[in-house]
Structure 1
Amino acid sequence: MNTNLTGPAPEKAPESAPATSPENRYDVAVLGAGMAGGMLAAVLARHGVKVLLLDAGTHPRFAVGESTIPYTSTMTRVIAERYDVPELLPLASFAGVREHVAPMSGRKQNFGFVYHREGHPQDPEQINQLVVPEWQRTETHLFRQDVDAYLFHLAVRHGAEARTATRITEISVDAATGAVLRSDRGEEFHASYVVDGSGFRSPLADAFGLREQPTRARHHSRSLFTHMVGVTPYDDAPSARGHKQPSPWHAGTLHHVFDGGWLWVIPFDNHDGALSPLCSVGLTLDERVFPKGEADAQQEFDAFLARFPQIAEQFQDARAVRPWVSTGRLQYSANRTVGDRFCLTAHAAGFIDALYSRGLTNTMEIVNVLAWRLIEASRDGDWSTERFAHVDRLQQGLFDVHDDVVYSSFVGFRDYELWNAVLRVWEATSIMPTMTLERAYRSFLQSRDDRVFRELEASDTPGLPAPVGADVSALLTFTRETCQAVEAGELASGEAAARILARVEAADFLPRPFALGDRDNRCFEATPELMQRAMEWGRTEAPAHIGALFG
């Protein structure tokens, strides 16, 4: 049966509730007015759900999580069309963001990776790049303070009630009646359901002891980051003159990678007519290799550049224009993200690392599967934990998938050959799920049948969609176990690299024309000609469950 998400709301089933005035009784209270909270509140309010959007801060404000990937943009289109919120569509392309949402944003035409060895000149052969095909789309470096404010105001425009500068200090939940929230101002709010999209200091995680201690994450890292001006495009740096990558480094997100960490450069000034001189810069380090000392963030950054003079070429005239943020270990997780009348989502549920820009993608995955459940619950009164169980399975799966990818990458950073091999696995985890989601999106546009997306939830590998999930999961598990053997000293990095590339080469679910298992195919660009050959492979050689993606 096709659920009508845009029709009038039927009468709700009776629900026992405390005797509170209608003014402070809500269907859903959303904690946190960042991208997750703002987008979810906008979708819910658009469908007549009575939403309270709470945040301890105000807009505009600094935020990271600034880089989109193709999966993110496709999921944005899915949410916009599935839930009939057309104001979300501009977020799915650089042109739309620049014109309608955040003109201070930058463009993203590639993922660029430059490998460095301390004490050695950068080898121009040790580079990798995945080009976002311009003929298909352009991704975005989001100027988050404007994007978050846009979504916040969109939620309000659709009818959400917003309370900023309001910190929730106490939460109590009753499985039969809902939640009571109390603020630092002495206000009391009642809601049938609470969604916490706030962050590490999640009120719900604190109230119900949901943080895993210690986290199950294998990966270790800490970070320091800021916005800068005066950052030199790496294409103009002397050490980049020998590079032969297909797309300019400054046209995308640049990752300088090295044993023990990576440094991001996300420019907002990299297109004609750019309004912003800013560049997001962050240094992420394995805290076991680079323990945090007494130096402040600027001093630590300067000391790092002194160790890597060819990275420093980008920063000779750069200066920070906002205070540095310096963290301890970034990784945290939750033993459960769904319970009686509540759900943790986005960074309230857990975090791994900014590597590969998965944060926004995971956020939108959860908005997509959570929204229709909340809309239906607001109509039929069924707020049972069982209805939301899939949301927990998906969030935990997304966490573990990203942990495996990033953990393996950091092990790979020890040796370029191993890193070059692990990167192909990341490409597989990125390209194939994106193709799966894009096919579902095209099918929905033709049929407008919501079952297209509900069927995607029927995956045996939460965090990776069917039909590619099992194949990608097996490859990722093999890669992580191989890297664990390297970390334990049981396997040489060169042998590990050879095994991973051989496994990628033998993977029948990966399009043969992509040549992801070819060691020397360090830069991947999905040209129209390459995609045409991939389509032919899909029709004639691919396994049946993969060939359907090319139909």
Structure 2
Amino acid sequence: MDPYETVDVVVIGGGPGGATAASTIAAEGRSVLLLEKSPFPRFHIGESLLPYTAGVLEQMGLLEPFANNGYVPKCGAEFTDRTGSFRRVSFEDQGPGRHHQTFQVERAHFDNALLEHAQEAGAQIRNPAPVDELIVEDGRVVGVRYRHEGETREVRAQYVVDASGRSGKVAHAFGLRRSVDQLRMVAIYRHFTGLDEAANPGERGDIQIGNHKDGWVWAIPVWEDTISIGTVMHKDTFRRHGEPEQIFDEHRARIPRIAQRLEGTEPSTKIRIETDYCYLSDEIAGPGWLMVGDAGCFVDPIFSGGVFLAMVTGREAGRTVAAALEHPYRTEQLQASYESFYKTGYDTYFRLIRGFYDYKFNFRQYREDLPDFIEERHVSLLLAGDFWSQGNALARYLKSERRWDTFAPFEYFYGCPVYPDLELLERVEMGV
């Protein structure tokens, strides 16, 4: 093995969280090496973005170029069922000052653009470069061993940011990950081409979420002529019913408005399956390391929060590491603040989904049973990504329900990372 190299920060994983963390750190003038196990571009699920993601892209200087990439505009979400009845949430209901439109994207294209941005910011990118193990000395992570171009290599760093997604390098190394048993789900999905949105009975570009007695179905137009379809069910349902392709075809056919939208399309990718995908870690930061996005937690994709949470935690992790390198005496405080930030976002998102699942995937019933003081604006805001707001009545209600507790007790972090001034104003107006 060659002598090891040294950088300020190693980032494991080149998805949205890792790429955002790397670009943030590099922009602070620090040396950063990003290691990604797969050649890019590569297929990935999670194609529907939240409106708050548009705000993050704007802050990164990427909104205008991304808006010109041909991505499908998304202005709302439709919730429908087997009877064909539906309820639409419009992102215009957020009120003034926020982005009311975001995108549906093909992740291979979107993720690759974010990775290129990290490289342009000054990060070193190596892929394929799978990380085999963490290097730990005296209880602190001080680097990683990885493979690249047929060689095993070693790099030392003051910090390792784990954005490795489900691989969870840090979580698995230290035994930190636990499953969320209430959300032990299976997703079966594929893409279809030949899409003609003239057949869509709803609003052009909307994500559709259809519920039935055994689960739910998503429909996301990722290009003008391509749509992503996924069927999600409890693991026991998956085990009881036939072959994956048979289950997929039968479940998607249960939702008339999605079936109508698919008229004239044909499959363009193979069937893919994800199982047991909901998990969390109660420790998000430790000596020499921080987790970002899916490396620490993964929540059911029904409300499309994954990319937003990955990017915003990646950016916050990058800022935390840069500050800790500049002010080592503040490291413990900075990491504790980051952990609260991370958990607050994921906790809010977990609660939103747990409530939905308690209503057997029926969003319309879920919405109708919410207390009267929760306005349509609060629902639109939370579905848009308003996870760190103390002034959002729906978020406060969800946090008051102990049956939806997920993490071990922690201190909430309040202060929106996308619209801080608006969140503060609303907090004052609400008297909280």
Tell me the amino acid that sits aligned with residue 253 of structure 1: I
Establish whether residue 207 from structure 1 lines up as the match of residue 154 from structure 2: no
Written as runs of structure 1 = structure 2, the 5 A alignment for 1:39-438 is 39-78=20-59, 80=60, 86=61, 88-90=62-64, 96-99=65-68, 102-103=69-70, 105-116=71-82, 121-123=83-85, 126-132=86-92, 137-174=100-137, 178-184=141-147, 185-212=151-178, 215-216=179-180, 218-231=182-195, 233=197, 236=199, 240=201, 248-270=202-224, 277-288=225-236, 290-292=237-239, 295-308=242-255, 311-382=258-329, 384-413=331-360, 418-421=365-368, 428=378, 430-431=380-381
- Distance across 2 between alignment mates of 1:366 and 1:175: 27
Q: Is 1:38–2:2 an aligned residue pair?
A: no
Structure 2: how far apart are the matches of 1:28 and 1:430? 37
Cα deviation for residue 388 of structure 1 reads 0.8
- RCO higher in structure (CA 8 A, sep ≥6): 2
Report the CA distance between 1:363 and its aligned residue. Answer: 1.7
In 1: Cα distance, 2:220 partner to 2:182 partner: 26
| CA distance in 1: counterparts of 2:347 and 2:186, whole angstroms | 18
The one-letter code matched in structure 1 to 2:90 is L
What displacement does 1:393 show? 2.0
Deviation of residue 166 (structure 1)?
1.1
Return the offset for 1:307: 4.7
Distance 1:259-1:53 versus aligned 2 partners, 3 A rule: same
| Cα offset, 1:218, TM superposition | 3.4
Question: For residue 428 of structure 2, what is the aligned residue in structure 1?
Answer: 545
Map Cα deviations across residues 300-355 of structure 1 (whole Å, 9 max, x no partner): 21222455566433334332212221121221111311111001111111111111
Gaps of 5+ in 2: 406-421
Give me the whole-angstrom Cα distance separating, in 2, the residues matched to 1:434 and 1:268: 18
For 1:292, what is the secondary structure of its paired residue? helix
Q: Which has the larger radius of gyration?
A: 1
Contact 1:174 1:340 in 2 (8 A): no
Helix, strand or coil: the match of 2:316?
Answer: helix
Rate the CA distance shift 1:177–1:50 in 2: closer, same or farther, 3 A: farther
> Shift of residue 400 of structure 1?
2.2
- Residues 1:478 and 1:259: Cα distance change in structure 2 (over 3 Å): farther
> Conserved in 1, the CA contact under 8 Å of 2:356 and 2:362?
no
Give the SS at the match of 2:389: coil
The CA deviation at 1:203 is 1.6
Is structure 2 residue 423 aligned with structure 1 residue 476? Answer: no
Letter in 2 for 1:174: E
Shift of 1:418: 2.4
Q: 1:299 deviation in Å? A: 2.2
Conservation of the 8 A alpha-carbon contact between 2:78 and 2:206: yes
Offset of residue 360 of structure 1: 1.9
TM-score by length of 2: 0.82
One-letter code of the match for 1:226?
A: R
Residues in 2 aligned to 1:254 and 1:433: alpha-carbon distance in whole angstroms: 14
The total of aligned residue pairs comes to: 405
Counterpart of 2:55, as a letter, is T
**CA shift in 2, pair 1:191/1:416, >3 Å:** closer
Hey, what does 1:464 align to over in structure 2? Answer: 388
Q: CA deviation at 1:41?
A: 0.8
Q: Using a 3 Å threshold, how does the CA distance of structure 1 residues 547 and 350 change in structure 2: closer, same or farther?
A: closer
Gaps of 5+ in 1: 1-19, 81-85, 91-95, 241-247, 271-276, 438-462, 485-534, 536-541
**SS state at 2:24 partner:** helix
For 2:75, give the aligned amino acid: Q
Pair 1:308–1:43, CA change in 2 (3 A) = closer
SS of residue matched to 1:333:
strand
Secondary structure of the structure 2 residue equivalent to 1:546:
helix
1:545 maps to a residue whose letter is: V
TM-score by length of 1: 0.66
Q: Which amino acid aligns with 1:428?
A: H
Partner SS state of residue 351, structure 2: helix
Partners of 2:115 and 2:245 in 1: CA distance: 32
Cα root mean square deviation, aligned:
3.4
Distance 2:298 2:376 in 1: 18
Distance 1:378 1:370, change over 3 A: same
Alignment of 1:473-512 (within 5 A): 473-477=395-399, 481=403
Separation of aligned partners in 1, 2:399 and 2:270 = 39
Aligned partners of 1:546 and 1:60: how far apart in 2?
A: 46
Give, as a single letter, the amino acid of the residue that structure 2 aligns with 1:142: V
Q: How far apart are the structure 2 equivalents of 1:431 and 1:218?
A: 25
Offset at 1:63?
Answer: 1.5
Matches of 1:427 and 1:547 in 2, distance apart? 14
Q: 1:420 offset after TM fit, Å?
A: 3.5
**CA distance in structure 1 between the partners assigned to 2:91 and 2:17 by the alignment:** 27
The answer to whether the 8 Å contact 1:106/1:267 transfers is: yes
Q: Displacement of 1:167 after TM fit?
A: 1.0
3-state SS, counterpart of residue 195 of structure 1? strand
Residues 27 and 122, structure 2, Cα contact 8 Å, conserved in 1: yes
